[in-house]
Amino acid sequence: MNKFEAKMYPDSKGHFGPYGGRYVGETLMPALLELDAAYHDIAQDPGFQREFHELLHHYAGRPTPLFHAKRLSSHLRGAKVYLKREDLAHTGAHKINNTLGQALLAGWMGKKKVIAETGAGQHGVATATVAALFGMECRIFMGTEDIRRQAANVQRMKLLGAEVFPVESGTGTLKDAMNEAMRYWVGAVQDTFYVIGSVAGPHPYPAMVRDFQKVIGEEAREQILKEAGNLPDMLIACVGGGSNAMGLFYPFVDDPVGMVGVEAAGKGIETGKHAATLSTGSVGVLHGSKSYMLQDEDGQIQEAHSISAGLDYPGVGPEHSLLKDLERARYVAIDDKQALDAFRKLCVLEGIIPALESSHAIAQAMIEAPRRSPSEIIVVNLSGRGDKDLGIVDV
């Protein structure tokens, strides 16, 4: 395995090796440079960091527990499975870590309006939440298909005072929402902060979102060392754009710990209806950065498919592309049916209803754990709660 020098990336222009960068229209470039400078400032500013961590603690409810899923582990007859309970964070997913950071930064930069794209609605809810907390005007772009399948989150965003803009273009999913948010931002860039929800988009977003999310891995690392006395053998997290996975992985990149990112195989890789970007895609440029993506031979972006709206995206964060090429992380795909099975298993074995996104990671743990001895430890990022998915899953 190649040693991954975590602190090397990204370079000053936002490149993670051959990936990342800033591929946007000129209108947005000055705003990205301004954001990069501001982010650089707050990353070093003790006052900002203190305020951020206080909010993570008192508002978001961190640290989230690391829970030893004993019934699941004994059912699997293998490695011990621990769940990092991001589902217990305020708003029910890890997304709040990043939106608190970005909203604080928006305030620091004097911006009073925020916009965001959302797929499953978790990032939209988390953005609407912090906008309410800081008294900011908030617009959320969401595909019409996702509005249909994640209706509960649409209601939450509206209750929180956000305006939800339905996006009909394409398949009405996350990619289309992001297109529309970028278009809106081009026209409003002078007074509007774009809160990107994943480790995707142009620099500095992939690095910034990772840094706001790395609290997940920092806590998990400390918790497992305290509880088990040693590092885990493997980390597992689902990957759509890849923010919960990057957040868990990053603090472990220099450790001898295996990492598995789980993409959505949708109806099956062979059907072509999937979102397995790293497993099957090729290198291209979408939404401001270079990374693996699902595209045809002409460079047109293809539609992704997954039962889980949060994984239904044909791109992936550039740092994951680098981790894949360096073989520092392994990327696999779990299909809709496997994810649904894992969803049900976790409900009845542990009394936890996971998000369909996170269920992909659980499903991979159900494959990995039986292959390992009970002395080994797997940490799964339970990135969100599943209440939002009750309309999708037949009860």
Minimum CB–partner distance for residue 297 and another protein (Å): 7
User: 49 vs 280, which CB is nearer to another protein?
Assistant: 280
Of 25, 281, 290, 304, whose CA–CA distance to 176 is shortest?
Answer: 304
359 a catalytic residue: no
Of 111, 120, 137, 115, whose CA–CA distance to 38 is shortest?
Answer: 111
Minimum CB–partner distance for residue 168 and another protein (Å): 10
- Catalytic one of 321, 345, 383, 388: 383
The residues binding another protein (CB under 8 A) are: 13, 21-31, 169-170, 175, 179, 182-183, 186-190, 283-288, 295, 297-301
User: 31 vs 362, which CB is nearer to another protein?
Assistant: 31
User: 21 vs 124, which CB is nearer to another protein?
Assistant: 21
Residues near 44 by beta carbon (within 8 Å), at least 6 away in sequence: none
Q: Crossing angle of helices 95-108/46-58, nearest 10°?
A: 140
CA distance 382 to 335: 17
Minimum CB–partner distance for residue 321 and another protein (Å): 14
User: 27 vs 230, which CB is nearer to another protein?
Assistant: 27
Other C-beta atoms closer than 10 Å to the C-beta of 295 total: 19
Strand order in the sheet with 234-238: 66-68, 80-85, 377-382, 234-238, 258-266, 330-335
Of 355, 358, 389, whose CA–CA distance to 261 is shortest?
Answer: 358
- Catalytic one of 86, 117, 319, 357: 117
95 a catalytic residue: yes
Minimum CB–partner distance for residue 301 and another protein (Å): 5
CA 267 remoteness from chain centre = 22
Sequence-ordered alpha helix ranges (H) in 189-317: 205-213, 215-228, 243-249, 277-280
Minimum CB–partner distance for residue 221 and another protein (Å): 35
Partner residues linked to 237 by β-bridges:
261
Sequence-ordered alpha helix ranges (H) in 196-268: 205-213, 215-228, 243-249
- Catalytic one of 95, 111, 175, 388: 95
User: 188 vs 231, which CB is nearer to another protein?
Assistant: 188
Tokens 């390992």, residue located: 372
Minimum CB–partner distance for residue 169 and another protein (Å): 7
User: 33 vs 152, which CB is nearer to another protein?
Assistant: 33
Strand order in the sheet with 113-118: 163-167, 137-143, 113-118, 192-194
User: 27 vs 271, which CB is nearer to another protein?
Assistant: 27
User: 62 vs 287, which CB is nearer to another protein?
Assistant: 287
219 a catalytic residue: no
Strand 258-266 relative to strand 137-143, pairing? unpaired
The answer to whether residues 319 and 206 touch, using CB atoms and an 8 Å cutoff, is: yes
Minimum CB–partner distance for residue 183 and another protein (Å): 5
Task: Give the tokens for residue 279.
Answer: 């497993």
φ/ψ (deg, to 5) at 222: -65, -40
Of 178, 221, 238, whose CA–CA distance to 384 is shortest?
Answer: 238
Active-site residue numbers? 95, 117, 383
